[in-house]
Structure 1
Amino acid sequence: MRVVLAGGGTAGHIEPALALADALRRLDPRIGITCVGTERGLETRLVPARGYELELVPAVPLPRAITPQLLTVPGRLAGAVNAMAAVFDRVQADILVGFGGYVATPAYLAAKRRGLPIVVHEANPRPGLANRLGSRLTEHVFTGFPDPTGKAEYIGTPLRREIVDLARLSMGDKARSWFGLQTDRPTLLVFGGSQGARSINEAALAAAPALRAAGVQVLHVIGPKNTVEREPPPGDPQYVLLPYVDRMDLAYAAADLALCRSGALTCAELTAVGLPAAYVPLPHGNGEQRVNAERVAAGHGGLLVDDAQLSSDWIIHNVLPILHDPERVAAMSEAASRLGRKDADLILARKVLEIAR
């Protein structure tokens, strides 16, 4: 059997696809898996690193408004659909699974042209343009978020096994030592998704003196393309500043609380491992990050603060008291865990095999 996975651009599209790929291989090592993406996405780094075949097709961003660029879309989309159809023919594909992103639109259209079964997974409560199209072309639609309409099946978001199987509490001391942190101090993890977030970086760095004075150590992932004007001086407690972390499972294990964006993948991972967080939804897009965070906050597994309201003072008055209250940290951790799903990768893999057969 040959399965083609389409999802690219951000880690939120790519990681669930790779988690599904791993689950398919665990169920049947003979399955052929091809991932498709574009040259501009993180898939060019993440997919080969996980050992999977990657095919590249032209990116076709769809304008959200009527602009002169809209006139160029039909021709570019036709070229991308032809390129996708050629991939299907070359690998002798049996089924397409799409996760959204620029590459998913031509993939869905090419699969429809070739008569291939289409499976759509949407991690967000508000689907993007590509998955809205894909869901019109198939009855096999699965979500990482409860669907109030009942038109899709809620299974959760496929996650890497190193995240799902993480024994966060028992790994805490080892994980903190890995990052050069002390084992006996409250620890805050700060990150802004795969690319970082400037507003989160600035607020956390401004709060660094107060956090350190209160005995809190910080693991801060600023993002691979971001820089900071002034790093916290060396000292104790530690304030570890890193551009990127490949072992996010260890970062989660090292932390008592996170300060982060609320993308679908981030929320799915943190609830799966039971790590409470202060969520700062991205202020752009269609508002899906706020919906993600509202669900966790309503379940008492985290806090929610608007990007415009985030500041060093907010961190000091809202995050710091939690870190100094182990009972509250434990209660929030249990609440977050109740919202998590750990088996979506295997559920979706079995669904894909059943549909393809």
Structure 2
Amino acid sequence: MTGQRPRSVLLAGGGTAGHVSPLLALADCLRRRDPDIAVAALGTQAGLESRLVPERGYELITIPKVPLPRKPSSDLLRLPGSLRAAVAAAERAIDSSGAEVVVGFGGYVSTPAYLAARRRHVPMVVHEQNARAGVANRVGARLTHHVATTFPSTRLPHARLIGMPLRHEIARLDRAASRSAALQHFGLEDHRPTLLVTGGSLGAQRLNSAFQSRVAALRSAGVQVLHLTGAGKAFEVEPAPSGAAYVVAAYTDRMDLAYAVADLAVARAGANTVCELTAVGLPAVYVPLPIGNGEQRFNAADVVAAGGGLLVEDTALTGEWIDEALLPLLADAPRLERMASSAAGVGERDADEKLADMVTAAFVESVAEQR
């Protein structure tokens, strides 16, 4: 295979976990395939990538942040100058890293990366995480025919459906085999229905408030809860001498075990969350974020239609809903089993490998064109 794979790849994406997580999943996959490959990430100094990329052992090259306004504003007037500066910085990143393929995941840095790759005649690959494509990837998809999408409903030129690249420990998780270790890790018991509540790394105040108001009701029903509140949003729960546990933590660095311990999740519907839950076959109640362009609702549409999840509006997620709808669902083990099977039927575990194949294909095609 010598000469059939790139020696250096530049990955562009940042700002949110939705961009950084698949970027890192691809980086890890490329390195598993070829330990000698050079992988660098293009990002900003302010995004999550500034911490997460170096922590995972990859070089981060920063360029200026260039928001692409959705509506006319003063940012639009400043865009040509700021975009030129960012594209020039991205070109320097391509040169310094020796990148032979550029892969973009959307976000602030991807548009400059795509334009720089075109100017440098470097092949590019685009991966879109959300059901509704963002501005950057709509630009990128016009510049290459190597375009990957996560959801069937995404409309981009040249799109190939592959799913979401996931962390290896999530993509290869066997929930049943890991459950015993997961129960021990979180201090939970093996004879109770277990609920995972998570609003992601930033948390979700709606979820936090609703469930905090029903700690006693959940305990009384025999439901044990692992509630991940988000950074800085953890709350105190009175210790119970007996009965079901209610474990509160701001976050966990073992989401694989959080998924293994749970029978049901209540979560936002970010693309990465939806794809992780379906990949591991965990049924969920999805509560889409009620702001933005509505992409979270579309992210959950396929798994909900398949019967692997429920969609609940943000305003409907109340203590009363927990009493009237969630507690009966948690008591219905056969229904949860059917939902788990349906969720797994929608999930995709090998998207990192498929995207790595596309990187190789883009490189091989570029080499052939140069001969």
Instruction: Give TM-score scaled by structure 1 length.
Output: 0.96
Matching of residue 302 in structure 1 with residue 309 in structure 2: yes
Comparing 296-305 with 199-208, greater Cα deviation is found at 199-208
Deviations 1:163-214 (A, max 9, x none): 0111112211210210122222111101112211111111111122211110
Cα distance change, pair 166–50 in 1 and its aligned pair in 2 (3 A): same
Quote the Cα distance in structure 1 between the aligned partners of 2:75 and 2:154.
35
Match 2:84 to one of 78, 83, 86: 78
Alpha-carbon distance, 1:69 to partner = 2.6
Match of 1:198 in 2: 205
Aligned match of 1:352: 359
5 Å-filtered alignment, 1:1-357, equals 1-147=7-153, 151-226=158-233, 228=235, 231-235=236-240, 236-357=243-364
2:3 is aligned to none
The 2-side partners of 1:39 and 1:221 are apart by 27
Q: Aligned partners of 2:245, 2:318: CA distance in 1, in Å?
A: 21
Give yes or no for contact 1:10–1:194 (8 Å, CA) kept in 2.
no
- RMSD in angstroms over aligned alpha carbons? 1.4
Preserved contact between residue 143 and residue 154 of structure 1 (Cα < 8 Å): yes
C-alpha separation in 2, matches of 1:69 and 1:227: 36
Give distance in 2, aligned partners of 1:103 and 1:246: 27
Q: Following superposition, which runs of at least 4 residues in structure 1 exceed 6 angstroms of deviation? A: none
Contact 1:177 1:183 in 2 (8 A): no
Deviation at 1:227?
A: 5.1
Query: What's the secondary structure of 1:190's corresponding residue?
Result: strand
Distance 2:107 2:75 in 1: 18
Deviations along 1:235-283, whole A, 9 cap, x unmatched? 1422111111111111101111000001111111000000000000111
- Distance in 2 between the 1:40 and 1:203 partners? 32
Cα deviation 1:80-135 (Å, max 9, x = unaligned): 11111111110111010001111111111111111111110011110111111111
Instruction: Give 5+ residue unaligned stretches, structure 2.
Output: 1-6, 365-371
AA of the residue aligned to 2:196: L
Distance 1:298 1:110 in 2: 40
Aligned-residue identity in percent: 55
